[in-house]
Structure 1
Amino acid sequence: MKIAFKLFATLTDYLPPNRKGNVLSLDVDEGTTVQDMIDRYNVPERLAHLVLVNGVFVAPSQRAKHVLRESDELAIWPPVAGG
């Protein structure tokens, strides 16, 4: 099944170098979870601060349980600080 996987800010360093922008269109197996994707791209837990599937927040305690579906968009942001 196809999903969109987006990493923002400093997390783009975890995407393959041959990508265009910060989005990958991926074929993943049925049953793939949010946590599976975080693990697959070696995104450190402490940096996966804001995780959204189709714009809906996925809490850290739900990431291993949240199964992705066809055409889902998984977006991850690191902690953000500003001044």
Structure 2
Amino acid sequence: MEITVKLFATLSGFLPPGAVNNQAPLQVPEDATPGHVIQRLNLPRERCHLVLVNGVYVQPSQLDRQVLKPGDALAMWPPVAGG
């Protein structure tokens, strides 16, 4: 099935070739989870601080449990520091 993966800030370098505007379509198995996508794209898991599926926050404990659906948008940001 196809989902859209969106990676921001320092994670954007992990996007597959052909990505545009920090996002790319990605073919994943029917039982894929955000954790599966993190592993597939070789993302450092500890750098995937904020994870959203269709704009809804996914708690770290659910990264390997929440099954994605066709057409889902998976967005991830690294930790952000500010002052």
The TM-score with structure 2 as length reference comes to 0.92
Aligned to 1:66: 66
Aligned to 2:82: 82
Secondary structure of the structure 1 residue equivalent to 2:10: helix
Residue 36 (structure 1) shift? 0.2
1:27-38 alignment, distance < 5 Å: 27-38=27-38
Aligned to 1:55: 55
Residue 62 (structure 1) shift? 0.5
Structure 1 stretches of 5 or more lacking a match? none
Structure 2 stretches of 5 or more lacking a match? none
Aligned to 1:10: 10
**CA deviation digits over 1:16-70, x for unaligned, max 9?**
3442231011222100111000001111121000000001111111000011001
> Which stretches of structure 1, 4 residues or longer, exceed 6 Å deviation after superposition?
none
The one-letter code of the counterpart of 1:3 is I
CA RMSD of aligned residues (A): 1.1
Change in Cα spacing, 1:17 to 1:2, as seen in structure 2 (3 Å) is closer
